[in-house]
Structure 1
């Protein structure tokens, strides 16, 4: 036993992480809280012409244009329901460790709960889903299965280029002009 356990009579605890839990339909999913920048109520968005249906639009946030995707539409082809618990969750999106990260908005249903658990509790579910590489391992608890959504795997290269153009868009272009 180590010095801490001897003095306090406890064993070391497992590595714990905080997750934001949300739903798509009746299914539960989770984002690691370290990826979350801010949780906002659902806001009006400017649509992006000819974007995939699951790209909900963009909005100006703290001087930056933030693209927003509807995770329900991306995953199952149906728009998120407009509930009081539907949130616009801003996340750190870093698809490549060699590049600067971006803020990406996600529309998530029932994004009101958190869970603290050991990330090792999430286990592979035995299916390689190349169409949805962001859907990670699952964790079983009293409520059923909870699936980890990996933020950095949400967008393929073509959608990434569309949502995060170089040079970046200017938020003043979206404001009403007299």
Structure 2
């Protein structure tokens, strides 16, 4: 039997999706890789006055001011540890499918691994957590539970107004003027 016949007769493969795996403390989480724009080392940030504690600041990336949140602080109230594996992960943030995606930075601990699996492997965990709607279903594997973080559910309306003002910030507006 030829290769074509073998493929045609095989059962359809499960829908596989790539995830970026990271940790908060000892717990594992994952983002869909399709949401990731770029993974950078942790960079210096300019703080935003009077922003929530989990807003780490902003930085300039490709002539755009990008807001950055510390997912450890957002989720559990303590800052991400400064490790060599702590990354600044840029994601496409689109809370409204009718609007263009905006780049949002996430400080993530141990963001060095990926996982390819069927998204259907993630199952609801039985709690409705209105304080953290971005924490999605969980998947069990040999290392324990892995929780899916939904990027588009990270920010509420009031924080979006602070981080993504209308009109958007321009780098020229941030320059010191005499």
Counterpart mapping for 1:18-167 below 5 A: 18-167=18-167
Question: What do the CA deviations read for 1:10-33 (whole angstroms, capped 9, x no partner)?
Answer: 321100000000000000000000
Segments ≥4 residues shifted beyond 6 Å:
none
Question: What do the CA deviations read for 1:101-129 (whole angstroms, capped 9, x no partner)?
Answer: 10000000000000000000000000000
Tell me the secondary structure at the aligned position of residue 158 of structure 2: helix
CA RMSD of aligned residues (A): 1.5
**Distance in 1 separating the partners of 2:176 and 2:41:** 22
Question: What do the CA deviations read for 1:79-109 (whole angstroms, capped 9, x no partner)?
Answer: 0000000000000000011112100000000
**Structure 1 contact 67–163 (Cα < 8 Å) conserved:** yes
Q: Which runs of 5+ in 2 are unaligned?
A: none
Q: Which runs of 5+ in 1 are unaligned?
A: none
> So what's the TM-score if we normalise by structure 1?
0.94
> So what's the TM-score if we normalise by structure 2?
0.94
